[in-house]
Amino acid sequence: NRLYDDSVFYAVAHSEKIVVRTSSFDSYWSAKCWLRKNGATGVIEYQPLKRWLNSDYVEIYLSRINVQRLP
């Protein structure tokens, strides 16, 4: 009984760049720790997110660039 599907862990492990947007730096470190523990090897970038009503929000964007090689 897991919170996330296998496709989430696959995406985390194969992302070249991960952007974590959050309203608190502590939340960034928590997210980064979780990502690393679950297979992230790419760059993890922090971006501040405006805080609303003293609540912590976290948005995580995963990206991978597939560049086809020329023959």
Give the dihedral sign, CA 44/42/61/9. Answer: negative
In a domain, 34, yes or no: yes
Predicted confidence band at 2 (pLDDT cuts at 50, 70, 90)? confident
Checking DSSP bridges between strand 43-48 and strand 17-22, what pairing results, if any?
Answer: parallel
pTM: 0.81
Compute the distance between CA of residue 44 and CA of residue 49 in angstroms, rounded to an integer. Answer: 15
Is it the case that residue 1 has pLDDT exceeding 60? no
Burial letters for 34-53: b for 16+ Cβ neighbours within 10 Å, e otherwise?
ebeeeebebebeeeebeeee
Here the tokens at position 13 are 């492990």
In a domain, 43, yes or no: yes
Provide the domain count of the chain.
Answer: 1
pLDDT tens per residue, range 6-54 = 999 999 999 999 999 998 889 999 999 999 999 999 999 999 988 777 6
In a domain, 68, yes or no: no
pLDDT at position 68: 72
In a domain, 51, yes or no: yes
Q: Which domain holds residue 25?
A: 6-63
In a domain, 1, yes or no: no
Is it the case that residue 63 has pLDDT exceeding 90? yes
